[in-house]
Amino acid sequence: ISQLEQEISEKKAAFEKENGDLKASNSELENSLELLKDEYERCEDYWHEKLHEARELYEQDKADMDEKFHDLLQKIKEYEDLVMHPMVNERLPPIEERASLERQVTDLEEECVVLRKELTSVRMDQETVINTYQRSYENKLKDECANLEQQVSALSKKCQEYENRLSSLAEEERSTVEENGMVDMMKERIKQLELQLKSQEEKFRQTVTQLEATLKEREVLYKKSIPDVSDCKKKVKIFSTWMDLSRML
């Protein structure tokens, strides 16, 4: 009997040590989850700042292009007035004004060419910046998702190992203490540990799912926030029309 009691005491001590190890592992998992949350928040702040900088750059470029476009419309209006005025009066301009008008047309054509080059350069720079930010953000999201999947897989394996160890330990305890009436107590204890492990695993899975959903939402919001460059295309089309009109004249 004393030998059996000694074996039971040894098994109980081993079980308590195993329980302590499981609690320590659980604490490490919780700390890892907190670190993952902090890293995600830092990443979110970083990309939010980058998006804000990209929007400010786009607004500044748009304001500059609007100003140039307004000046060009004023010049086009003046040019149309110069062209339409002789048609209304149905008379040819004097010879003295023809050279001046040609110089004005030449100057306007040269200025229009310069403005078209500037607009093309601004549009290319803007598209390059947007594409760069988009590729960088997509690569960052892919890396974070891959890391999350690896961590979830590793934690799932650990949980499975813990469950297997608990099952093995439970079988050993059942075979050892079955004759002394301690089966019910050990079963209850094992059930409690299994429930605790399952609860922790479920909470962690829910947290990871929420993080992945948040990452997907951020990606969708980023794609929606990409500025539209259709205004530049419309303005270039207007410049092309004006150039065709100047060539006809």
Task: Kindly list the averaged pLDDT for each block of 10 residues, start to end, along the chain of length 249.
Answer: 78 83 85 87 87 89 87 83 59 56 78 82 81 77 74 71 70 60 63 73 71 69 54 53 52
pLDDT computed for residue 176 by the predictor? 62
Digit-coded pLDDT (tens) for 107-157:
888 887 888 888 888 888 878 887 887 787 777 777 776 777 777 677 767
Domain that holds residue 188: 37-248
CA–CA separation, 105 and 110 (whole Å)? 9
* Number of domain units in the chain: 1
User: Does the residue 94 lie in any domain?
Assistant: yes
User: Does the residue 16 lie in any domain?
Assistant: no
User: Does the residue 4 lie in any domain?
Assistant: no
User: Does the residue 172 lie in any domain?
Assistant: yes
User: Does the residue 3 lie in any domain?
Assistant: no
pTM: predicted TM-score of the whole model, two decimal places: 0.30
User: Does the residue 24 lie in any domain?
Assistant: no
pLDDT computed for residue 89 by the predictor? 47
